[in-house]
Structure 1
Amino acid sequence: MILSDCVQARSMLSLAPLLTFWKTELIPRCPHMADLFDGIMERLPLSLKGDIQDISALAEYPDIVHTLMTAVVSPASYDRELTAAFAPCSFEGFYATPGFQHLFLDRGHALKPTLKEKFDSDMDQRFLSVYYLVLERIYGFSGPLLSNLHTRVLTDEKTGLDRYYEEVPDYRFVDLTPVGVPRPLSEADHEWILDHLADQVQLARLIDLSQFEFRGFVIIRVQDVTEKAILSALERDLVDENSIFASPGIQQIESRLQSLFRRPDLGVSISSLKGDQVMVTKNDHHSKVDCLFLNSHHFCLKDLEGSVWMTAAQGDAVFRVADLSKKQPLIHAESEAVTAGIRSMLLSPLVYQGQRIGLLEVFSPHPHDFGPFEAILMSQVTPLFAVALKRGQDELTKQVQTVIKAQCTAVHPSVEWRFEKAALAHLDALRRGKRSPRMEDIVFKDVVPFYGQSDVRGSSRARNQGIQQDLTRQLTLALDIMTSAAAARPWPLLRQYVFRIETLLTALSGGMTSSHESSVFSLLNQEVTETFDSLKGIAGDLDEKIHGYCQEVDPVSGMIHHRQKEYEDSVSALNSGLSAYLEQEDAKIQQAFPHYFEKRRTDGVDYMMYIGAAMMETGTLPSFHIRDMTLWQIMAARGMALCTEKIKPDLKIPLDTCHLILVNHTPLSIRFRYDEKRFDVDGAYDVRHEIIKSRLDKALIKGTGERLTQPGRIAVVYATPNEEKEIVQHIRFLTDQGKLENDLERLDLADMPDVMGLKAFRVGVTLSA
């Protein structure tokens, strides 16, 4: 009998072990069955009492075989059990219960053709039990070797869904006899076998099955373990951190629940409660990204008031909906569900550590499709989904926190490790009983500061010009209305308004002052516009002029902001471009050596960076990174100048930028200010750096009165000879690279309040990319 391509064993079908069982065990316990056995033996031909050469011969005596097999399968459970008998070491069957016959065998006792390939594919795995039989009976191995189980997945012919069946072999009716003297096994062989019990190839190195005879038959008992297997598979799926909220994951979850509930058209959804929002995940998205927020439908909690979902979420058990279409009244969301074909539902609240976090729903297009048994199944899977949903919510919380950190706080990723350390110390203090301990101070000592700015040149002038043009436009429109009205009606007050408007226009034409805006607002919005309703209809085109005025004026502020908005949009566009470029460039060097980075947007962009060994979790930082950062600053300033040139053609108001860098390699200390949620210099001496920063944008060249910063040029301010030497090296390198012009200026800066003796370099930017 061929076991596999490389293994042969001597096996023979025989009823002898079963006949012996009747005589030695069954009849002594049940003497009344002796006559029955005697009758069987009289009718049983001699050819079937020993080795059976032709298995088909048993088919001629079905009644005798069935009676003998009542010792194996109880008549009371014959219609329920899935049991069959096979020749040893083969799949040649001669007896099967109706259930086994229906699932696995054709009209005879051979495997169904659709199953033969599946059974053959794992032939080696199934024959492990043959080796275990030899190890147990010949070599005295103990333990549950023969209890190895084999689970098979079959497709249900009616539903098309997977069913799981567990096969348990029973070798009690197999007699095993060595052919000759079995090979002895050493202690080392025993250890080898124990280490390779699951590997048939390795077992075959020590055990030759052709040296043994297998006589009798094997009982195969099969159990439907679909529920247990599905629950186990669901547990694995829901523990998997990349499953439930991605498209492949929710599809697999739905497929498993269809098998568990034996309903091929069953659907599933998972609802997550987040504040006043409900996020519902179903098998109707195609994203492979595992994200609860992205792969869900969002509803307002108030829109579900009075619905079956709210009723279920507020309960403690599985809630059954026999037919959703019969509920009255249906809220909008329920009507949509009915329109989509949902009729019956099972709804189970998802609770994690006593907190209601969501709802699990399975639904069907058929009314009255779920009963008490399905509700029990639902209650068994609910805890698994609660754990999975909580993990998804925690991941969502992390994403939200990431956004908050990026938009709202000064805790930079490069120093998060230090804040985590302080937070752990704080929690430990609470654990030890300290009442409301203050978090420890976070101070970084001996860090080197780096400062730079790209300032919008002439922004105040451009803003004032925009305001002036808007005020002039609004006054001109109002003057036209008052002039027309005064011509139509000889009211003295109208002529006074004309005079006052003309006076303001004359004043504006001479230049914009801080009082002009309030004067125009007061005259027009508190006096002139109040007359508009009374002026309508007194002149031919006056109504049209009033309408045109109202169309141009902002209804909230009562003022025209056309040119101001163009200015603000232009500054915003320029700032956004510079800010995005700076963040992009900083992200690149963050990968090389993490450092603290803080950026502000005003009329332009300025940034502050700190690097030092104290800010590294490892406590070390090569000193050359200080020089590297200074070079990066000059390159970034040049990049922002190029960025400005690219943006300028799209600006409605012409603007330009000036670029400034402060080089100060003197280490200082910074401290996190918990009240302001930002870092600041620590100590009186270190404040000098902050004073210099605050003065530099107004710095003048000594003896000339010229502003240090100029469009198209980079100004680098320094104080020491070593800093001077380093800056020159960087500028010469970038000039040679064609990034800077060969027009370096060495400049002395005019003294400023509390700041004296500073020097600067200024160099032009090559604006060709």
Structure 2
Amino acid sequence: MKIRQTKDIHTVELPFKLKISFEKIFNLLQKYADEEFKEHPYHEPSKKIIEEVKNIPELIDGFSDESLLKKHEETIELLLDPLFPELLLENEIKAVSIPFTFTTFKFTSRFEKILQNAGEDYELKVRNFESDLMYIYACTLILANVHSYPVDLKRPFFFDIPDKTTNSIKKYRAAFNADFMDIFPTETAPKLSEDDIKILLDNFENIDVWKEKLPPKSYIFKGFGIMNLFDVTTDEIISEIRTNLLKREDNLVHTLQASFRKFFGIDDLTLGFSVFEIDANNLAYSRIKKEESLVLNYVKDISCNGVFCNYVLEKLFLNNETLAISDVEKYGQQTKKNNFYQRLKNMNIGSIILVPIQASVKGDLSIIEIASPRPFELNSINQNKLQDLIPLFKIAVDRFSEEHQNVLEATIQENYTSIHPTVKWRFYEAAEKFHRESFEKKEKAKVEDIIFSDVYPLYGQSDIKGSSIARNQAIKEDLTTQLSLAISVLLEACKSERLPIYKELRFRVDQYLSEVKRGLKAGDEISILDFLKREIYPVFNHIKEINNELKDLVDTYINRLDPSLHVVYEKRKAYEDSVTLLNDQLASFLDTKQEEAQQMFPHYFERYKTDGVEYNMYIGQSLTRDKKFDNLYLYNLRLWQLQIMCEMENVALKAAEQMDHKLRVASLILVHSNPLAIKFRMDEKQFDVDGAYNIRYEIIKKRIDKAHIKDTEERLTAPGKIAIVYSQDKDAQEYYKYIKYLQSKKLLGKVEKLEIEDLQGVSGLKALCVEVVYQKDFDIQKTITIDELIQEFK
């Protein structure tokens, strides 16, 4: 009987004295030797074994001398044979073991072969189970079996056993059968109280406490254990792959490749992958987002002619089915040596498995490539081993897609700005290209310019009429209040202390007050506030200390000041609150309606709050890659814009009911018939027209709202009217149709045709000025819907 001894049972420190005993199996055999079992097949063999064992009492009483295992080898073999059925010797990995020392004897045939392949120098060791932990583990058995206090420290035991025939390490999990053992205390074993057990429960890491409460060799372990091993090499490799997939490391493919080589048992297996953004309507538009591929090498076209044959294209990209090409040469013959065959051949690939993984992020598809240089090593049979791994790949692909999305978002935010959803796809393309070039380590990789050509602009504004005059008047009134308060303090100070300086300061404050009442000039407010801070406030600090009445006056002055701005800010605040209220209501209404307008056709939209609201819109084919543009959408958007301007006039009138300053707006639409190009300005983080020819449009936008009607002093824009500015008569004819429709809806009134004075660098502009019909019962929720507009337009 072969014995494998890892540690001498006398030198291993445990709370036990170890005694090898076969008493329990002897008692079982005695039962079958009884006459009542004389018909049982075990009866006669049991009688013979019992007669032989009776002459060797140490096998029953127990012994610690391992040499007796060899001395009584034949008898021990007879005792243990019932536990090792011959039919299972080639299948089970089983041995009798002395627990905690892993001294083993009596092996199944399969276990013996495993140990032979491991080599004579191999020592059976438990992985990651140091001696202190083994001592504590033994103590938990004592708590459970002797003191009836079960403590759960169940941890699987693993053995890493080399296999020299395959030059690999096999992984085994051990299961122990403790049916043939007993544990009981020696006479010197300390008695454990409930408090002692609680102390042990709170001191798992403190081996000294365990050795104090359960000293070495204070208990007897009598019997033997049976150890069964189970091959978990594949499970461990899957676990290893799972761990690696969840890691965030740059060299992931190389790490996974090592695991897959063990998984398939192919030492020179290679691994690659690509991530595609798939256009389901046209695979030729699909693009590689990230690649460490074996065969694709950054191809831009994944269509049949570009890379794959129809069969591969359909399996991977349409059906998302795993594909095994077990013989690349045969595949080449069947496909007339197409491009994909040539790529496989160039990479010395004899067989390959391609695994498509569809990410949760719409449009992302990963292709995992597993290749061998020899045909048939990878095939449709062993591809099924991947079934347990595909969910792990999907988790990793989803994580990659999310992280990749975050990287692109960060790139866009850093280099561009918050982008309107309609054009976001183009910024992603630019970010993808930048990261691909960076990954390829191309020199001078940079983010490209974003330009959209042949787009039609629409511009509109609802400008607060007379905002500059109203703001200046509010500033004037606040400064008048502040200077008057200062004068009242100085007047009382003169009565309290007849100091000439008070009169001089009051005189200077009077002068500033007179200047303010005559009218403010640029810089007046700053110089007045600076004077107060330098000359007046130190005096106020002085007079506060000499007279309580003066202190109250100064406190009254201070209380009228805004705590953060340190100026009287009453009229201005009322005005700014009115402007904010009007801007917020106009902007909110426009944003809500804009979301609806996107349903007609995706278009670019940007809005600004100034003294009122102004906005730009651009529509055209280049702004979208998913929908066909037609001029019908432009006409729809122009009608929508005019209708929205009518409704915004009503929103503004209704908002005035809640204002201290009854503000009105003047509305304007600028019509530009010719398409132009817009470019994203990196320095300003916004779109602007591109090209010298198109600059005229921007000039008009900046100057038109201050223009006058030709040969008059009357401003073009006025409350209660919408000015539609154009340069070509065909535009006027188009807008007459829209006006007529909205007149039928009682939204617009009379219309007149006007000529506009020549502006600097711009001449020949005309305008239609149309009256707004205000609705007495105007309700934002009951405005004309997009569907009604589209139906009317048809």
Q: Under a length normalisation based on structure 2, what TM-score does the superposition of the two structures give?
A: 0.48
Q: Under a length normalisation based on structure 1, what TM-score does the superposition of the two structures give?
A: 0.50
